[in-house]
A = this chain, B = another copy of it.
Amino acid sequence: MKKKLSVNYSETCKTRITAIKDTMEILSGKWKFHILGTLLETDRMRFMDLLREVEGIGSKMLSKELQDMEINQLVTRTVQQTKPITVVYEITEYGKTLGPIIDEIAKWGISYRNSLHSPQDRETA
């Protein structure tokens, strides 16, 4: 009997890998988690406020990332007929379903920072 070249990989695994790919494609780029993290905290923000809040981003990137996320129904864009026109972005209910992911990522990042100070935490699990 010939040795199998590919590891026996169950359907469940393939589905899981596809799911990971899907999610990461939607959340690709340097800024989406950052923007979403901000919007999850504040609910609604204007363009210029996001520009100031998301440290380091430029208007081109912010605009592009917001458009991407609007297409994927993660955020909504609403033009307000105020004196100088303002636009508010808010996270959708659907976007809020990303909350648990963002929470886990933030949680891990925090414990990562702590482990930098006491690296043995990382070695013992």
Chain A residues near B (Cβ < 8 Å): 5-7, 9, 13, 15-24, 26, 33-34, 37-38, 41-42, 45, 49, 52-53, 55, 73, 93-94, 96-98, 100-102, 104-113, 122-125
Main secondary structure of the interface of A (DSSP, over half): helix
Determine the residue in chain B with the shortest Cβ distance to A27: B105
CA distance A18 to B125 in the complex (A): 22
Determine the residue in chain B with the shortest Cβ distance to A99: B104
Residues B7 and A34 in contact, CB atoms below 8 Å apart? no
Instruction: Report B-chain residues with C-beta under 8 Å of the C-beta of A122.
Output: 73, 94
Residues B5 and A52 in contact, CB atoms below 8 Å apart? yes
CA distance A54 to B102 in the complex (A): 25
Determine the residue in chain B with the shortest Cβ distance to A115: B94
